[in-house]
């Protein structure tokens, strides 16, 4: 059975996923070795059970991210923080010196060109957490993949070790802050 | 001058009396990480990265201020020391706002170097996201306290080399901050000679030159060699071209 | 003034005191000041005057009488009757019944045979309840400055040091470094200028030993410093006292002025060739300035930040000159040692820790206050005999010694003798003398959090482990107290505590984790029961099994 792999996009810009696509022709090689069971680039509605490896992009910045992180944790054997937002909070966390109210006011009132109003239907919308946090502050994380975004080579290194059945521990050459 | 012989990482070294362990290590190519230390400034033993073990004592000693004694057995790379060095870098990373797009490109950040060196892949302590200020009131330079690691190199170079003592530390503990004069905007400082020494010795991007490109934001890593003359014209005379270490 | 003049002055003072029928001493230390001793004094004075006995009675303010929880305290010296909670009405009663008719007002007295007093041994506090805290004459009449006289009339500096060394007096600031050894190093360090510094920057929460000594018997400290100055060859002393102690500062200023007026301080002391001046330096209230290298920098007018040792102040101290720096209580022990000899001193306490130790006993005990006990006394005796045990209905849980640098000692170690090594063996320290008793109502994680908050606020910020580490330790404790912490937080907390302890620059950071580590050691379940479970993998995927490279 091929390893079941998922990728998730939480509080990030999807740049890490774009970088994943930069694997280019190596993607074909990857596709042979794994089964992609969930991803923003695959149309699957619910996060499946019994996932071997999940790559999580983005920080935990709203209530949905937080809830989702716990679901992912329960259903994935190994979780890789994918990129700097998941690892350090990075750009997503730059809002942390302001309160959510200040941020919403700035975005939806002060900078609004038309119809300024703060969205308030939280039955369908996720609510901002007080602070955006890196993934490992919320759930247990097994490996970290640095970079904003991580380069295709870093991703390749991580994916190939994972598919060989190993947890990737990045050598210093693959550490990259930003 | 007397000479002492001591052992460091199982190799014997001779040191001139008065030399520190760090000096002997550097002279002989033994790498001990440092942050607050800068040759030419008084050592303060504050960053604790250069801590070493000395046989016979349960305590750890900063290599930058500890002098070898005859027969001393020093260890600089034990598992305990490596673990603590990594934790120190973790603590530093959590303390400031170090999301930075510059260092990763130009590679001129000692905090980043340290993080590479200790293999920092994530920080286990919650980030503090302090509300720090940036002061761009000086016509040549900027201080961005978000990036500051409080090594006090700027404080020391300004006091000890330039003799101006513009910089000092305000507050205490986690609230410490570098301030100009009596906490006035840098541009209004009566004491500042605009010599730029502080900018050159800053190990991170807390002090920087205005109008420089990312690639130009380089730091002086060796001994302080800058002498100020025509300061108003943004011209500095250096004793010699600064060499990278 | 010559030595003979001094003896004459003492004799005159003794005669003056003898002429009074009653000597009434009210406690004028800060504790009783805040519980209203001024009102008691006024009432006593008025009553004495109204009844026309003011001339036969002397009413003076004395040093701390110890049982601070029961203040204001008034002591009728002649028959050693101690009155508690003296307000204006009781004061009047004391005069009308006790002074006029000789009937002790029993319902307001404290029995001096109570274990609170009986188990104590007073050396440092010997003059509390004996002399007027503001009178040099009374100090001299109570054998004060006789040790300085003894030193100046025939002892060489080496003699003094060898006497102190034989007494095995150890630093009362908490670390227990042998005082004689320290003095010897300073004596032998070559320099044209040396200094003596008295560390009166007492900052532990709840501790007031040094304050009480300075307020009640300031001359004893000056005498100890002058003897130290003679022994090491210093002509200048500084007392670094925190600004939060205005009464201590006032009394010290007065004492220095009095001593200078009599030629006991200044040039050619008691017509000898010894010169010694003492100045006061007032600290701005930073706890870290109790650390000797930070204190020295603060005296020099610089930011109070510690520096790595060595070099120790005994070689490079104030303005890089050899400097003796001792705690208030250490200096206060010096005159009686010189007066009575080292062997007298070593007969008290234990072999390794001779003498006594002053503690500020506080917390959940029936009797709180300032106590002085012989070293080696058991903690149980201090808590249950002197302190009278925990209040009715509650049970003892722990005693905290050493303030924010110390640890919590549980019931099973209560029979430990109070000395430097024993306290250290259970993860606490002697410290400067704070002793806080906790009962079953105290949450030990919360206790640890309280002390960590103190250390975090007081960290000078120089070294990274203390500056950032204490902040994170505090945040983790807060998380655990709020029952939001996980097993991983708890493990990381312990790792960080050990790291901060081992890597911090000065004593503040090195000892800041002690309250956490000692409560984890003895009250682990109070932490673990607050921890929360974390989400973990619930499935059975099993492809990935091993790691490559080094795992963290």
> Which pLDDT belongs to residue B106?
81
Residue C308, CA distances (Å) to B64, B89, C182, C186 in order: 10, 20, 18, 19
Mutation site for B-interface testing, chosen from C312, C489, C502, C503 by largest number of B Cβ within 10 Å: C503
DSSP-assigned beta bridge partners for residue B104:
none
* CB within 8 Å: B116 and A175: yes
> Which pLDDT belongs to residue B230?
42
* CB within 8 Å: B84 and C502: yes
Contact with chain C for residue B47, Cβ under 8 A:
yes
CA distance B189 to B167: 10
Contacts of C200 (CB under 8 A, 6+ apart): C210, C211, C214, C221, C239, C240, C241, C242, C245, C248, C327, C328
Tokens of B218: 């380089």
> Which pLDDT belongs to residue B225?
54
- How far does chain A reach from its first CA to its final CA, in angstroms? 36
CATH code assigned at C26:
3.40.30.10
Torsions phi, psi for C408 (to 5 deg): -100, 125
- C22 within some domain: yes
CATH code assigned at C283:
3.40.50.11540
Contacts of A119 (CB under 8 A, 6+ apart): A104, A108, A125
Strand order of the β-sheet with C81-83 is: C57-62, C22-27, C74-76, C81-83, C109-110
Q: Which DSSP string do the residues of C76-134 spell out, in sequence order?
A: ETTTTEEE-S--HHHHHHIIIIIIHH----GGGEE-TTSHHHHT---STTTTTTTSBTT
* CB within 8 Å: A170 and B121: yes
* CB within 8 Å: C286 and B95: no
Question: CB pairs below 8 Å between A and B: how many?
Answer: 63
Q: C touches which chains (3+ CB pairs under 8 A)?
A: A, B
Q: Which residue on chain C is closest to B62 by alpha carbon?
A: C308
| Chain mean pLDDT for chain B | 88
Domain count, chain C: 4
B positions 83-142 inside 8 Å of A (CB):
93, 97-101, 103-105, 112, 115-117, 119-124, 126-127, 129-131
Nearest Cα to Cα of residue C297 among C384, C378, C245, C238:
C238
Q: Which residue on chain A is closest to C487 by alpha carbon?
A: A140
Domain match, C193 and C67 both: no
> Which pLDDT belongs to residue B236?
56
- C542 within some domain: no
In Å, how far from its chain's centre is CA C295?
17
Contact with chain C for residue B51, Cβ under 8 A:
yes
pLDDT at B237 over 80: no
- C10 within some domain: yes
Residue C377, CA distances (Å) to C168, C383, C500, C533 in order: 18, 11, 32, 45
Query: If you average pLDDT over residues B100-125, what whole number do you get?
Result: 89
Residue C309's region, left for phi above 0, alpha for psi from -120 to 50, else beta, is beta
Contacts of A67 (CB under 8 A, 6+ apart): none
> Which pLDDT belongs to residue B244?
42
Give B136-190 pLDDT, tens digit per residue.
Answer: 999 989 999 999 999 999 999 999 988 999 999 999 999 999 999 999 999 999 8
* CB within 8 Å: A167 and C542: no
pLDDT in tens, chain A (178 residues): 788 999 999 999 999 999 999 999 999 999 999 999 999 988 898 999 999 999 999 999 999 999 999 999 999 999 999 999 999 999 999 999 899 999 999 999 999 999 999 988 888 889 999 999 999 999 999 999 989 999 999 999 999 988 887 877 777 778 888 7
Among C346, C367, C387, the domain-final residue is: C346
Range(s) of the domain holding residue C425:
356-439
Domain match, C306 and C373 both: no
CATH code assigned at C401:
3.10.20.600
Nearest Cα to Cα of residue A89 among A60, A130, A69, A129:
A60
Residues of chain C neighbouring B175 (CB-CB closer than 8 A):
461
Q: Which among C456, C461, C504 has CB closest to B176?
A: C461
CATH code assigned at C482:
1.20.1440.230
Residues of chain A neighbouring B99 (CB-CB closer than 8 A):
84, 88-91, 93-94, 178
CA distance B223 to C6: 62
Tokens of A12: 């990030």
State whether residue B235 is helix, strand or coil: coil
- C255 within some domain: yes
Question: CB pairs below 8 Å between B and C: how many?
Answer: 97
- How far does chain C reach from its first CA to its final CA, in angstroms? 74
Identify each DSSP E strand in C384-454 by its residue range.
396-401, 407-410, 434-439
Sign of CA dihedral C186, C192, C196, C201: negative
Domain match, C258 and C151 both: yes
Element (H, E) at C197: strand C195-200
Domain match, C219 and C107 both: no
Mutation site for C-interface testing, chosen from B92, B119, B125 by largest number of C Cβ within 10 Å: B125
Q: Where are the domains of chain A?
A: 4-94+132-174
* CB within 8 Å: C503 and B174: no
C34 CB-contact burial (10 Å; exposed 0-12 / middle 13-18 / buried 19+):
exposed
pLDDT at B226 over 80: no
pTM more than 0.90? yes
Range A4-94+132-174 classified under CATH 3.40.630.30: no
Domain match, C340 and C414 both: no
CA distance B1 to B16: 7
Torsions phi, psi for A18 (to 5 deg): -60, -40
Q: Which DSSP string do the residues of A87-133 spell out, in sequence order?
A: HH-GGGGGGGGS-HHHHHHIIIIIT-SSS------TTTSPPEEEEEE
Residues of chain B neighbouring C465 (CB-CB closer than 8 A):
48, 87-88, 91
Confidence of residue B243 (pLDDT cuts 50, 70, 90): very low
B positions 149-188 inside 8 Å of C (CB):
150, 152, 168-169, 171-176
In Å, how far from its chain's centre is CA B93?
15
| Chain mean pLDDT for chain C | 94
> Which pLDDT belongs to residue C549?
44
In Å, how far from its chain's centre is CA B74?
23
- C132 within some domain: no
Give chain C's residues under pLDDT 50: 547-552
Domains assigned to chain B:
3-77 (3.10.20.740), 81-118 (no CATH), 134-238 (3.30.70.20)
Give B24-67 pLDDT, tens digit per residue.
Answer: 999 999 999 999 999 889 999 999 999 999 999 999 999 999 99
CA distance C430 to C175: 7
> Which pLDDT belongs to residue C534?
87
Domain match, C255 and C360 both: no
Q: B touches which chains (3+ CB pairs under 8 A)?
A: A, C
- C242 within some domain: yes
* CB within 8 Å: B122 and A169: no
Angle at C91 between CA C87 and CA C93, to 5 degrees: 120
Torsions phi, psi for C286 (to 5 deg): -90, 125
Q: Which residue on chain A is closest to C550 by alpha carbon?
A: A169
Domain match, C198 and C337 both: yes
For chain B, percent of residues with pLDDT exceeding 70: 87
> Which pLDDT belongs to residue A124?
86
Q: Which among C540, C546, C552 has CB closest to A166?
A: C546
């Amino acid at each position: 059975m091929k390893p079941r792999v998922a990728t998730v996009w939480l509080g990030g810009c999807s740049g890490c996923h774009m970088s994943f696509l930069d694997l280019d022709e190596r993607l074909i090689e990857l596709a042979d070795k794994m089964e992609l069971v969930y991803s923003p680039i695959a149309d699957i509605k619910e996060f499946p059970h019994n996932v071997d490896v999940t790559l999580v992009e983005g920080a935990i910045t709203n209530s949905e991210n937080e809830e989702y992180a716990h679901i992912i944790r329960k259903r994935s054997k190994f979780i890789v923080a994918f990129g700097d937002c998941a690892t350090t909070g990075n750009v997503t966390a730059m809002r942390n010196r302001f309160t959510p109210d200040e941020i919403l006011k700035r975005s939806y009132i002060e900078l609004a060109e038309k119809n300024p109003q703060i969205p308030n239907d939280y039955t369908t919308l996720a609510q901002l957490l007080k602070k955006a946090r890196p993934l490992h502050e919320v759930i247990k994380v097994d490996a970290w993949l640095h970079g904003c975004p991580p380069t295709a080579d870093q991703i390749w290194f991580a994916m190939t070790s994972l598919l060989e059945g190993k947890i990737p521990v990045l050598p210093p050459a693959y550490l990259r802050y930003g | 001058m007397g000479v002492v012989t001591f052992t460091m990482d199982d190799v014997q070294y001779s040191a001139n009396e008065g030399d520190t362990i760090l000096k002997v290590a550097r002279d002989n190519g033994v790498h001990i990480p440092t942050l607050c230390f800068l040759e030419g400034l008084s050592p303060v033993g504050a960053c604790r990265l250069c801590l070493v073990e000395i046989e016979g004592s349960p305590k750890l000693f900063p290599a930058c201020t500890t002098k070898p004694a005859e027969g001393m057995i020093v260890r600089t790379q034990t598992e305990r020391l490596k673990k603590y060095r990594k934790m120190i870098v973790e603590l530093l990373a959590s303390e400031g706002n170090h999301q930075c797009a510059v260092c990763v490109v130009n590679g001129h950040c000692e905090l980043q170097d340290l993080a590479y060196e200790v293999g920092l892949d994530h920080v286990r302590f919650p980030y503090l996201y302090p509300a720090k200020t940036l002061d761009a009131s000086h016509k040549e330079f900027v201080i961005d306290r978000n990036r500051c690691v409080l090594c006090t190199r700027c404080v020391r170079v300004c006091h000890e080399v330039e003799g101006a003592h513009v910089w000092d530390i305000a507050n205490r503990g986690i609230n410490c901050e570098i301030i100009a004069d009596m906490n006035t905007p840098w541009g209004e400082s009566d004491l500042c000679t605009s010599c730029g020494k502080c900018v050159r010795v800053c190990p991170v991007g807390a002090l920087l030159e205005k109008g420089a490109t990312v690639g130009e934001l380089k730091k002086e890593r060796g001994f302080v060699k800058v002498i100020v003359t025509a300061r108003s014209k943004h011209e500095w005379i250096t004793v010699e071209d600064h060499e990278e270490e | 003034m010559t030595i003979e003049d001094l003896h004459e002055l003492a004799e005159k003072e003794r005669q003056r005191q003898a002429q009074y029928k009653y000597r009434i001493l009210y406690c004028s230390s800060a504790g009783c000041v805040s519980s209203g001793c001024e009102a008691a004094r006024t009432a006593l004075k008025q009553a004495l005057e109204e009844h026309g006995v003011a001339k036969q009675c002397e009413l003076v303010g004395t040093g701390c009488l110890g049982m601070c929880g029961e203040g204001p305290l008034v002591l009728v010296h002649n028959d050693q009757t101690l009155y508690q909670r003296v307000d204006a009405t009781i004061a009047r009663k004391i005069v009308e019944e006790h002074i006029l008719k000789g009937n002790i007002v029993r319902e307001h007295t404290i029995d001096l045979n109570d274990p609170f007093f009986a188990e104590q041994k007073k050396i440092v506090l010997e003059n509390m309840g004996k002399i007027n805290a503001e009178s040099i004459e009374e100090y001299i009449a109570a054998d004060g400055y006789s040790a300085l006289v003894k030193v100046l009339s025939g002892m060489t500096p080496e003699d003094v040091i060898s006497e102190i060394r034989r007494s095995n007096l150890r630093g009362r600031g908490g670390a227990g470094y042998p005082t004689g050894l320290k003095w010897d190093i300073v004596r032998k360090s070559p320099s044209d200028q040396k200094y003596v510094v008295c560390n009166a920057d007492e900052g532990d929460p709840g501790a007031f030993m040094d304050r009480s000594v300075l307020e009640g018997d300031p001359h004893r400290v000056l005498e100890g410093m002058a003897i130290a100055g003679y022994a090491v060859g210093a002509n200048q002393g500084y007392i670094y006292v925190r600004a939060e102690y205005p009464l201590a500062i006032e009394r010290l200023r007065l004492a220095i002025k009095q001593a200078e007026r009599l030629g006991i301080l200044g040039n050619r002391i008691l017509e000898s060739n010894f010169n010694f001046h003492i100045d006061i330096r007032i600290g701005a209230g930073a706890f870290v300035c109790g650390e000797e290298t930070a204190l020295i920098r603060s005296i020099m007018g610089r930011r109070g930040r510690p520096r790595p040792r060595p070099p120790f102040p005994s070689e490079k101290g104030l303005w890089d000159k050899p400097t003796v720096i001792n705690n208030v209580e250490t200096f206060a022990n010096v005159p009686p040692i010189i007066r009575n000899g080292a062997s007298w001193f070593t007969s008290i306490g234990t072999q390794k820790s001779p003498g006594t130790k002053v503690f500020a006993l506080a917390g959940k005990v029936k009797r709180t206050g300032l106590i002085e006990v012989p070293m080696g006394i058991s903690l149980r005796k201090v808590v249950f005999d002197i302190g009278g045990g925990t209040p009715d209905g509650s049970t003892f849980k722990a005693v905290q010694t050493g303030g924010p640098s110390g640890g919590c000692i549980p019931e099973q170690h209560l029979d430990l003798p109070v000395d430097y090594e024993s306290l250290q063996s259970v993860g606490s320290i002697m410290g400067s003398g704070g002793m806080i008793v906790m009962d079953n109502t105290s949450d030990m994680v919360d206790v640890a959090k309280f002390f960590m908050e103190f250390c975090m606020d007081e960290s000078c910020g120089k070294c990274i482990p203390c500056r950032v580490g204490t902040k994170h330790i505090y945040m983790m404790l807060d998380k655990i107290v709020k029952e939001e912490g996980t097993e991983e937080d708890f493990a990381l907390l312990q790792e960080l505590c050990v790291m901060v302890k081992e890597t911090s620059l000065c004593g503040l950071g090195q000892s800041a984790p002690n309250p956490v580590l000692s409560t984890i050691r003895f009250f682990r379940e109070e932490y673990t029961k607050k921890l929360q479970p974390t989400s973990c993998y619930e499935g059975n995927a099993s492809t990935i099994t091993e790691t490559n490279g080094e795992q963290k």
